[in-house]
């Protein structure tokens, strides 16, 4: 019985408040460690918009000879080190963060050379920690603020900064471990922030109401709890990514230490059932065997959810109906083509930005690793919202 759950075979079944951070609120999450509040400075200067590239063939380059001559059209950047967080900017370019170095680089859809922007200091990369998640402010065009989920020597935390500015703490005190440090970040339409954490290798913390580990948290831009929060849902093993559907359904990828990995639909007050399922625990949307899992990325287009799989070395495609139930066996693409696939982000043209993770100590890197891909998924995505 997977992850000690009794599922009965259902395996397939606001606005930003200020520009200058005034603190982390008075709810027990005080500034600590190397990130101390300082002026955040002006918005970033990230260069002019780039022209839209010619669309690659869905999923794979169509002509191996042209790939040999001009390079793989799916690859927009190479030679990186464990690129993990990624955000698409309003100009169509993207900013990607390296987990082990803290570097932030701007990468371009036309495959122009990547541009190094800054390094986030004070991170601790022990185990699977480091610079884990990125998001941009809902009012980015006005304030230029980036949000990052990072590991320090003492905790995991969310910080924010303008490009080139000093990271200031938003939410601190998230438990830190050698493994399962979480890192999912996504803004809701009302400007509040969802944060995915991990159980730090101590499963009991996931259902401990006094701990922020193994949870999805819901806070405002100052780290103050939203609603009855900050705990929005419990019982997660390692929330590596979060994404929102068309009707604001929140989805989480949960990378399990034992048994299948899963895609969860997250609702306020829900319990995902790790490590022990109870009568009120929710079933996952879909599960994946460990060999196909290592879920680490999540993006939604219409009624389609795309999932990056590290161990599975592929992108899973999950089709849902109007009620959020899976309609068929998941399909896949890019299988074994680029190695371990991590972050998945959808851009305004319907393309997926995907990072590889072959230099993470588990993968087998090629001379060009790690890479950032931009790929149009096979068949496109449905237009109707979730």
Mean of pLDDT over the chain: 85
pLDDT in tens, 147-181: 999 999 999 999 999 999 999 999 999 999 999 99
First to last CA, the chain: 30
Q: What's the pLDDT score for residue 66?
A: 35
Q: What is the mean pLDDT of residues 66-87?
A: 84
Distance CA 105, CA 94 (A): 8
Query: Is pLDDT at 381 greater than 60 in this prediction?
Result: no
- Output helix, strand, coil percentages for the chain, rounded to the nearest 5: 5, 35, 60
pLDDT digits (tens, 9 = 90+) for 287-334: 999 999 999 999 999 999 999 999 999 999 999 998 999 999 999 999
Which residues have a Cβ under 8 Å from the Cβ of 334 and sit 6 or more positions away? 59, 60, 314, 315, 341, 354, 373, 375
Q: Which of 23-27, 207-211, 356-360 has the lowest mean pLDDT?
A: 23-27
Q: Which residue has the higher pLDDT, 10 or 244?
A: 244
Among left, alpha and beta (phi > 0; psi -120 to 50; other), residue 141 is alpha
**pTM here?**
0.84
pLDDT higher than threshold 70 for residue 146? yes
pLDDT of the residue at 70: 62
């Amino acid at each position: 019985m997977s992850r000690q759950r009794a599922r009965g075979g259902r395996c397939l079944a606001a606005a930003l408040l200020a520009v200058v951070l005034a603190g982390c609120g008075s709810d027990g999450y005080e500034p600590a460690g190397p990130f101390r509040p300082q002026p955040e400075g002006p918005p970033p200067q990230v260069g002019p918009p780039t022209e839209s590239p010619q669309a690659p063939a869905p999923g794979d380059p169509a002509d191996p000879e042209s790939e040999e001559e001009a390079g793989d059209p799916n690859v927009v950047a190479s030679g990186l080190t464990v690129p993990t967080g990624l955000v698409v900017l309003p100009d169509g370019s993207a900013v990607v963060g390296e987990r082990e170095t803290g570097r932030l680089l701007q990468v371009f859809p036309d495959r122009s050379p990547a541009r190094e922007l800054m390094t986030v200091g004070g991170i601790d990369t022990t185990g699977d920690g480091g610079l884990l998640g990125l998001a941009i402010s809902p009012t980015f065009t006005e304030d230029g603020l980036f949000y990052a989920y990072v590991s320090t020597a003492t905790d995991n935390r969310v910080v924010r900064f303008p490009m080139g500015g000093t990271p200031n703490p938003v939410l601190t005190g998230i438990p830190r471990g050698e493994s399962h440090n979480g890192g999912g970040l996504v803004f809701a339409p009302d400007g509040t922030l969802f944060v995915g954490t991990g159980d730090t290798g101590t499963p009991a913390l996931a259902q401990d109401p006094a701990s922020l580990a193994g949870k999805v948290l819901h806070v405002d831009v100052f780290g103050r709890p939203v609603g009855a929060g900050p705990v929005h849902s419990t019982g997660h093993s390692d929330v590596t990514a979060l994404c929102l559907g068309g009707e604001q359904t929140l989805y989480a990828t949960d990378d399990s230490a034992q048994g299948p990995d899963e895609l969860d639909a997250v609702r306020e007050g829900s319990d995902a059932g790790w490590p022990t399922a109870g009568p009120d625990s929710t079933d996952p949307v879909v599960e994946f065997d460990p060999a196909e899992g290592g879920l680490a990325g999540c993006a939604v287009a219409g009624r389609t959810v795309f999932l990056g799989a590290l161990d599975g070395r592929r992108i899973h495609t999950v089709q849902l109906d109007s009620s959020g139930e899976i309609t068929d066996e998941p399909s896949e693409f890019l299988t074994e083509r680029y190695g371990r696939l991590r972050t998945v982000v959808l851009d305004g043209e319907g393309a997926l930005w995907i990072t590889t993770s072959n230099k993470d100590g588990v993968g087998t890197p090629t001379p060009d690793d790690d890479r950032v891909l931009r790929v149009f998924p096979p068949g496109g995505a449905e237009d109707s919202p979730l």
